[in-house]
């Protein structure tokens, strides 16, 4: 990511008024995307929904659910044209910080085994696989498992 681009980057809380932009990204990157209702429910439930903006462009977002001292990263998505440029790492670091500041001692997530770029990102940041949810995700030919990963939170840098 260039220094000029990084200097224009802002992490911002998202709301109902951002749903069209969120859905444009979601529908552009997933064959089985979340629905508008999934995002509306997340916002209504008080989940942390943050986005990464460069100038006025929403380039990615995450949805984080808190449960006592544990956080669950429900969704982290980067616009297709912005993937592989460091925005995923920036959003993940922000999600980890937000979870830690909200009192979480660990962060859980599920990821498709076929999503090798996401797996590499999570492993880079120290997430460890702790389980498998069989048949968790819809897939082109049936169902795909989910790898359950966990990261013990502490100081987060980057």
- Domain limits at 141? 3-152
Instruction: Look up tokens 């076929």; give the residue.
Output: 114
* pLDDT (0 to 100) of residue 154: 78
Q: Is the separation of the CB atoms in 52 and 10 below 8 Å?
A: yes
Cα Rg for the chain, rounded, in angstroms?
15
Q: Phi and psi dihedrals of 8, rounded to 5?
A: -100, 0
* pLDDT (0 to 100) of residue 158: 44
For each of the chain's 158 residues, which pLDDT tens digit applies? 555 455 688 999 999 999 999 999 999 999 999 999 999 999 999 999 999 999 899 999 999 999 999 999 999 999 999 999 999 999 999 999 999 999 999 999 999 999 999 999 999 999 999 999 999 999 888 999 999 999 999 755 44
CA distance 98 to 93: 9
158 in a structural domain: no
Report the catalytic residues.
110, 122
* pLDDT (0 to 100) of residue 124: 96
CATH code of the domain in which 143 resides? 3.40.630.30
CA distance 126 to 55: 30
54 in a structural domain: yes
* pLDDT (0 to 100) of residue 6: 56
88 in a structural domain: yes
Overall number of domains in the chain: 1
157 in a structural domain: no
Tokens of 75: 């969704």
Asked whether the whole model's pTM tops 0.85, one would answer yes
55 in a structural domain: yes
């Amino acid at each position: 990511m260039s220094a000029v681009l990084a200097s224009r980057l802002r992490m911002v809380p998202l709301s109902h008024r951002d749903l069209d932009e969120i859905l444009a990204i979601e529908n552009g990157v997933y064959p089985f995307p979340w629905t508008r209702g999934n995002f509306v429910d997340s916002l209504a439930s008080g989940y942390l929904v943050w986005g990464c903006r460069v100038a006025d462009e929403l380039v990615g977002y995450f949805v984080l659910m808190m449960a006592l001292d544990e956080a669950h990263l429900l969704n982290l998505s980067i616009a297709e044209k912005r993937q592989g440029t460091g925005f995923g790492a920036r959003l993940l670091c922000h999600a980890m910080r937000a979870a830690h500041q909200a009192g979480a001692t660990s962060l859980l997530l599920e990821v498709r085994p076929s999503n090798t770029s996401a797996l590499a990102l999570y492993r880079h940041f120290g997430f460890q696989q702790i389980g498998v949810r069989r048949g968790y995700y819809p897939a082109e030919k049936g169902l795909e498992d989910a790898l359950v990963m966990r990261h013990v939170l502490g100081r987060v840098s980057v």
